[in-house]
Amino acid sequence: MRPFLLPTRRCLKLDPFLSVPCRFPRRRSSDMATVNKTAHPFDKTRLEALLNRRFFYAPAFEIYGGVAGLYDYGPSGSSLQANIINEWRKHFIIEEAMLELDTTIMTPAPVFETSGHVARFADWMVKDSKTGDVLRADHLVKNVLEARLAGDKEARGQAAAPKEDEKDKKKKKKAAKAVAVQLADDVVKSYEFTLAQLDNYSGAELGELCRKFDIRNPDTDNEVTEPQQFNLMFASSIGPTGQHPGYLRPETAQGHFLNFSRLLEFNNGRVPFASAQIGRSFRNEISPRAGLLRVREFTMAEIEHYVDPLDKSHARFKDVRDTVLDLLDRDVQLSGSTAPTKMTIGEAVDKGVVANETLGYFMARIHMFLLKIGINPKRLRFRQHMANEMAHYATDCWDAEIENSTGWTECVGCADRAAYDLTVHSKKTGHPLVVRQALKEPVVTEKECPEFNKKNFGKTFKQDAGVIQKHVEGLGEEELLKIKGELEQGKTTITIDGKSFELSPEVLRIERRTFKQSIREYTPNVIEPSFGLGRILYTLLEHSFWSREQDVERGVLSLPPLVAPTKVLIVPLSAKEEFDPLVQEISSKLRRAGIFSRVDDSNTSIGKRYARNDELGTPYGITIDFASVQNHTCTLRERDIMDQRIASIDEVIATVTDLVEGTIDWEEVCRRLPAYDGVQAID
């Protein structure tokens, strides 16, 4: 036996990232902490170029000029979203034994008229007074004030404005520009106070802010009009003649509520339970200018958890009680601050900061999910809605907000919708959307009840009889007792819509009756976590992106194996036929293990092949060289630290399987497999 040295390596160890020999020692597992992911500041332009080049997503209808707010996902983006959805289903639907739905997108208008969306599902918009350009009012105020504060910091020497080339400037032409102008201290405080509670302002108040701070269209420097409401739903029609007006749904929730009776029956009439749905929703955004963060068509994942209004505890709350969250409650925001408080969810519920256990339980589970798929915990917080921004159906709501290059963005809403939706749909349709619960012990009650002598009552009041009966039956206990006392004295008079009617014992009697109740009937309350998957996907890409310390052009997406589009890159060192059986064997075994892999047998250098797959977020690479053919071995490469290990093909595949399933980490791999030093021995 003698060592076989690859010709291109010439007795030198080859850095697997480079296409030329390297005299520096290969990075070992003990050197893992030396990988500096913050050596270069985050560069959004560089990330966007990568995402475009690698076709994660792109503007829809691009060759026709595109339409703002509509995007197509490419192979990597589609796989990344599918993997996020797959983990979401495991984390919520499977773990919580939820009932999964798939309801229609097209919805008849009466549904949204009843739910309140036609009247209230709107944002405030303003127009450029000269050009007529439309802008969303709260975003305009936010962008202009933040730009002024950035200019103030630059003028004070606290921050330098990032350099932009001409292409960057064209891309950002719609954004408010930061100009280095120092502001008075009281102006800075006023701006910061306004931004802290921006979501709490009404339309009229947003208009007042535009006048007070002289906020104009950043594009033209023209004044803007008074804010007007704009309904975000896409209107449509159903049927060949359009006789049935409809809307594209702005959320999946109504499909849950309209099927509540069937879901309850499927769950054997028991509450609590939850339904879940993943599907497309549509919102006609006023000015979508933030990529995937504000789009007109998107994928949502929503949960409707039905609870007894008298008992909003959760059986598994104790499992998450010690989870620490960054909470920004409404009182802090109203004080003009945006500083969150670290608090366990148990403490938050005990103190009443979070309304109830079930709401708190889902906030903790949302936090766990986002961290599991790779969101940076230091850039995640939960912000409570203030009074003016609260949805018409909600009694309490917290947003999981994730920080990105545009600021803090709502990615998950977690709301207590109370009994609003089920109540209004039941009232409109006459279909009882209620729970009937058998009581362990019957409840015996006594109450006053009106009894009408139908013959005399009808003859006396004729066409007014129905109105009078409905009025009397709707009276409370105290009023019935008063009428009862007056009837015992002879007669009583009631007034309905200004018209008086005299009642006597011959037409009406009030009797006290005993009732035995063995069934309790109630409308359940709903706790709703609602996920915007496109926003989560984009913020994950931002949080995962960095550049190699030695070369800023080497972009890397450190996506967790759990959600990475491709788990393993198979790299044969040569295109010779003798490599084919090994490539097929490894590919086949990875497929059987349920691990998605790709083969890159292009003519380019191995370093460049790894580099372009680092950009795709592929966490592991398997390299096959000439020694592999004889020894049935291969090397395993880790994306971030570029460390390589060597073992038999079966050992490597077993190790990769454990890595992808999350049962081991790379440190364990280093204990399990020997380091590869760039040299293999063959006969």
pLDDT tens digits, one per residue of 314-323: 999 999 999 9
Cα separation, 44 vs 39, whole angstroms: 15
279-308 pLDDT tens trace: 999 999 888 878 999 999 999 999 999 999
Two structure tokens written together for 463:
């066409």
Place of tokens 């849950």: 256
Which carries the bigger pLDDT value, residue 498 or residue 618?
A: 618
- The pLDDT score that the predictor gives to residue 681 is 58
Q: For residues 152 and 159, give the distance between their C-alpha atoms in angstroms, rounded to a whole number.
A: 9
What is the average pLDDT across 326-353? 95
Alpha carbon separation from 327 to 340, 347, 369 (Å, rounded): 5, 11, 17
The pLDDT score that the predictor gives to residue 166 is 45
> With contact defined as beta carbons under 8 Å apart, do 335 and 392 qualify?
no
| pLDDT score recorded for residue 516 | 83
pLDDT over 80 (residue 178): no
| 439 — pLDDT class (breaks 50, 70, 90) | confident
Looking at the structure, give the CATH architecture of the domain made up of residues 124-231.
2-Layer Sandwich (3.30)
Q: Is the pLDDT of residue 599 over 80?
A: yes
**Class assignment of domain 438-522?**
alpha beta
* pTM given for the model: 0.81
pLDDT band, residue 153 (cuts 50/70/90):
confident
Residues 377-387 have pLDDT tens digits of 999 999 999 88
Q: For residue 266, give every residue at least 6 positions away whose Cβ sits within 8 Å of its Cβ, in sequence order, or none.
A: 99
Is the pLDDT reported for residue 446 higher than 80? yes
112 or 395: which leads in pLDDT: 112
Q: Which CATH architecture has domain 7-119+233-424+525-535?
A: 2-Layer Sandwich (3.30)
Residue 164 in this model has a pLDDT that exceeds 80: no
Instruction: Look at residues 51, 388, 468, 472 and name the one whose alpha carbon lies nearest to residue 202.
Output: 388
Cα separation of the two ends of the chain: 5
568, β-bridge pairs: 597, 620
What is the average pLDDT value for the chain, to the nearest integer?
89
In the chain, domain spans: 7-119+233-424+525-535, 124-231, 438-522, 566-672
Q: How far apart are CA 358 and CA 347, in angstroms?
A: 14
Amino acid symbol at 135: L
CB of 66 closer than 8 Å to CB of 59: yes
Residue 27 pLDDT: 44
**Fold topology of 566-672:** Rossmann fold (3.40.50)
- Model confidence at 1: pLDDT above 60: no
**Separation CA 418–CA 522 (nearest Å):** 12
For 385-523, strand residue ranges (E) read: 396-404, 407-418, 435-452, 492-496, 499-503, 508-522
Instruction: Give CA–CA dist 608/614, Å, rounded.
Output: 10
| Mean pLDDT confidence for 41-61 | 96
| pLDDT: which is higher, 628 or 85 | 85
Per-residue pLDDT averaged across 627-643, rounded? 94
DSSP for residue 233: P
CA distances from 484 to 217, 478, 487, 589 (A): 69, 10, 5, 85
- Banded model confidence at residue 184, pLDDT cuts 50, 70, 90: confident
Q: Which two tokens stand for residue 520?
A: 């309790």
* Cβ atoms 605, 612 nearer than 8 A: no
Residue 306 tokens, joined: 């039905």
Q: Return the pLDDT at 342.
A: 97
Confidence grade of residue 675 (pLDDT, cut at 50, 70, 90): very high
Quickly tell me which residue has 């990032």 as its tokens.
162
Is the separation of the CB atoms in 382 and 503 below 8 Å? Answer: no
DSSP SS3 for 339: coil
pLDDT above 90: residue 372: yes
